[in-house]
Amino acid sequence: MIAQIIFLILLAAAVFLFTRNVRKIIRNIRLGRSEEITGDTSLRWYTLLRVALGQSKMLTRPVAGFFHVIIYAGFIIINTEILEILIDGLFGTHRVFARILPGQLYNFIIVVYELLAGGTIIAAIVFLWRRYVMKLPRFKSSDLDGWPRSDATYILIFEIVLMVFFLSMNGADHLLQHRGVGHYVKAGMFPVSSSSFGLMFSGLSDSGLEWIERSAWWLHITGVLIFLNYLVISKHFHIIISFPNVFFSNLEPQGKFNNLDAVSLEVKLILDPSATPPDGEQPVSKFGAKDIFDLSWKQLMDAYSCTECGRCTSVCPANITGKKLSPRLIMMKTRDRMEEVGKTLDENLKAWELSALRGEFRGEHGGKTLLYDYITEEELWACTTCNACVQECPVNISPLSIIVDLRRAMVMEDSRVPSELALMSSNMENNGAPWQFSAMDRMNWAEGMTIPLMSDFAARGESPELLFWVGCSGSFDDRNKKITRSFAEILQAANISFAVLGTEESCTGDPAKRAGNEFLFQMQAFNNINELNNYGVKKIVTACPHCFNTLRNEYPQLGGNFEVIHHTQLLQQLLLDGKIKVMDDHALKGRGVIYHDSCYLGRGNGVYEAPRAVLEALKVELKELKRCRQNGLCCGAGGGQMFKEEEPGNKRINTERASEIVESGADMVASACPFCMTMLDDGLKQQSGERTPTMKDIAEMVADSIQR
């Protein structure tokens, strides 16, 4: 009875502390602004099963993934065994399930528990080995200096100790069962404990064994209850919170950034001064996020779900090339800031908490903000918005969404923007392009060609089948004008009814949006959407993945609903339909070609196959780079980087990618993005060596290889 009372007190204290700390975490998450989660619920359940329960993203790195699955399964499944321990502890029974469940079933469960316990010990040792003997860079990183590194170590040691208690308890129990001592019911096989701890204990007396079994039982359950409470102050809370976090994760294409409604309202009023704001709508005083209160609850939940594994940082092009940005650190700093604010709330609980939850607890709390005091401008401006971190995260966290919201506050609230980006914005405002070119020169690429304009069709009261959205780079950049010409030639060869907007085309606003200037983006977007809707445009093709992404994903919410395809998708279709035919003998046949995935086409929109299918139709010898498809390395242009100097680092991102291309030994690089073309062409020119591969857009390769 005394044992039962002690057990009850221990359990109640652990549950009380755990609940209290979890409530604090929930309170901290609720400091964020509201965010409506929409989308297909069945897809959400499927994502939960696949990513959280099935650990699908962990397994993309097989060794770490395999051992993590063992630890994870060990944790989840062995803890079901706690149920039996709880009943035994509360009611003074022993192995209660052995009496209730059919013998074979109980036997099977014990075998599974034991194998997992043994596996967990091995996996934890492997993880310690990777950290302290192999010293993998992502664990050696200064991101983890101090408590984060100790935390990871403590937890691995904790897991080993818990499993040792579990197996010693079973080992002693098994021997006692066989000796027929007291209440030790015969309960089948104990494969791991009997062949390890059981052997060690076999010379002990019955009372010695009983002492070990009872001590290990108590130590195991006490350890589990301590572990439970340790979770909530450690990154290991992800074991619990990653499930809802994955369930609520973004199901939209990764390239799609949210449009700020507050900005839409202002822009609409500017474009149409006679319009009146909807009833009750107040002018908005804040844009973007300066502190945790301006991030959404989901972004804050992301921070609590971060496992600090560093996979995101290990694939981040900015980090790889020595910039200060580490997406893992973005998440850790967001959590640190939440914890700091939470601590103040605890100290001044009532007054602070009430005002915080009413949304009044905002601004520079404690003289600090997440932006500037925790996360610096240099870190934020290093991001290329390539989505590699989002793709890689095993629990579907998006460090990028926080980076973009912080950039928005820097740009729109504080006007803190690199001078080159300020120039880019003013060019866009004045010329409708990020460079200082006159809008009247937009059609210069078509010199000597007869390219139909939308206005010509409209004058005849007709509309073409397709609008070819040329994009700024394809219109003004001398190298990329060749891509535009090639693609237009293909459309003509295939007898496609198409037109361009010509001088009426204006930048989609993509670089402004990624650089935090949502206001300018929406000005561009609303004007373009008006133009396109006036012409009754239904279907758009573009050779630029950035335009493709913006028109396809970000315009619909603002009233621009078009079918948007990328030129590689159209080329694939034209080849399949036989509307263009590859010559039997052309210069590219058999040449060793590698394809560089554009971030906004690949990760951003999942277009991986169309470009490859076109290259295969050209019968080139298609090779893959080490980092390709979902793992492709950014060229360094995205997120406004194209228009500014890279942040300080140890090399340029395009140089890193160009070296990888040269190492691949390919003859030629195929690209499907004018920005990648500029960056990599430049990177390749700087490579020393006997020969560097030439670079072509897929449209140019097709134009060179088809029958005319």
Q: Which residues contribute to the site for ligand SF4 (CB under 6 A)?
A: 306-312, 316-318, 325, 327-328, 331, 383-389, 392-393, 395, 397, 399-400
Rounded Cα distance, 627 and 624, in Å: 8
DSSP label of 707: -
Rounded Cα distance, 163 and 196, in Å: 13
Q: Which is nearer to ligand SF4, 298 or 311 (CB)?
A: 311
Encoding tokens for residue 306?
A: 């971060």
Q: How far is the CB of 418 from ligand SF4 (least distance, A)?
A: 16
Q: Which is nearer to ligand SF4, 119 or 327 (CB)?
A: 327
Q: How far is the CB of 388 from ligand SF4 (least distance, A)?
A: 4
Q: How far is the CB of 394 from ligand SF4 (least distance, A)?
A: 6
Q: Which is nearer to ligand SF4, 532 or 653 (CB)?
A: 653
Looking at residue 38, its amino acid is: T
Encoding tokens for residue 557?
A: 């919410």
Encoding tokens for residue 260?
A: 């700020």
Q: Which is nearer to ligand SF4, 396 or 572 (CB)?
A: 396
Coil/strand/helix, residue 545: helix
Q: Which is nearer to ligand SF4, 213 or 392 (CB)?
A: 392
Pairing of strands 498-499, 694-697: unpaired
Q: Which is nearer to ligand SF4, 101 or 233 (CB)?
A: 233
Q: Which is nearer to ligand SF4, 241 or 529 (CB)?
A: 241
Q: How far is the CB of 255 from ligand SF4 (least distance, A)?
A: 11
Q: How far is the CB of 563 from ligand SF4 (least distance, A)?
A: 28
Q: Which is nearer to ligand SF4, 64 or 537 (CB)?
A: 64
Task: Spell out the SS3 assignment of 87-107.
Answer: HHHHHCCCCHHHHHCCHHHHH
Q: Which is nearer to ligand SF4, 262 or 402 (CB)?
A: 402
Residues 80, 212 contacting (CB under 8 angstroms): no
Encoding tokens for residue 165?
A: 């208690």
Q: Which is nearer to ligand SF4, 238 or 591 (CB)?
A: 238
Of 81, 166, 169, the C-alpha closest to 121 is: 166
Each residue of 614-623: b (16+ CB within 10 Å) or e?
Answer: bbebbebbbe
Encoding tokens for residue 403?
A: 């980076």
Residues 520, 429 contacting (CB under 8 angstroms): yes
Distance of CA 636 to the CA centre of its chain: 18
Coil/strand/helix, residue 523: helix
Q: How far is the CB of 401 from ligand SF4 (least distance, A)?
A: 10
Give just the sign of the alpha carbon dihedral 463, 465, 470, 471: positive
Residues 96, 88 contacting (CB under 8 angstroms): yes
Q: How far is the CB of 314 from ligand SF4 (least distance, A)?
A: 8
Q: Which is nearer to ligand SF4, 212 or 318 (CB)?
A: 318
Rounded Cα distance, 12 and 503, in Å: 73
Q: How far is the CB of 311 from ligand SF4 (least distance, A)?
A: 4
Q: How far is the CB of 437 from ligand SF4 (least distance, A)?
A: 28
Rounded Cα distance, 487 and 544, in Å: 12
Q: At residue 241, what are phi and psi to the nearest 5 degrees? A: -75, -20
Q: Which is nearer to ligand SF4, 417 or 500 (CB)?
A: 417
Encoding tokens for residue 112?
A: 């599974």
Placement of tokens 């844009």 in the chain: 287
Q: Which is nearer to ligand SF4, 474 or 511 (CB)?
A: 511
Query: Which DSSP string do the residues of 402-439 spell out, in sequence order?
Result: HHHHHHHIIIIIT----HHHHHHHHHHHHHSSSSS--G
Q: How far is the CB of 424 from ligand SF4 (least distance, A)?
A: 18
Q: How far is the CB of 586 from ligand SF4 (least distance, A)?
A: 37
How many residues are recorded in the chain? 708
Number of Cβ atoms within 10 Å of the Cβ of 189:
13
Q: How far is the CB of 559 from ligand SF4 (least distance, A)?
A: 28
CA distance readout (Å), 602 to 609, 618, 697: 9, 21, 16
Instruction: Say if residue 74 is exposed, middle or buried (CB neighbours under 10 Å; 0-12, 13-18, 19+).
Output: buried
Encoding tokens for residue 11?
A: 């359990």
Q: How far is the CB of 4 from ligand SF4 (least distance, A)?
A: 41
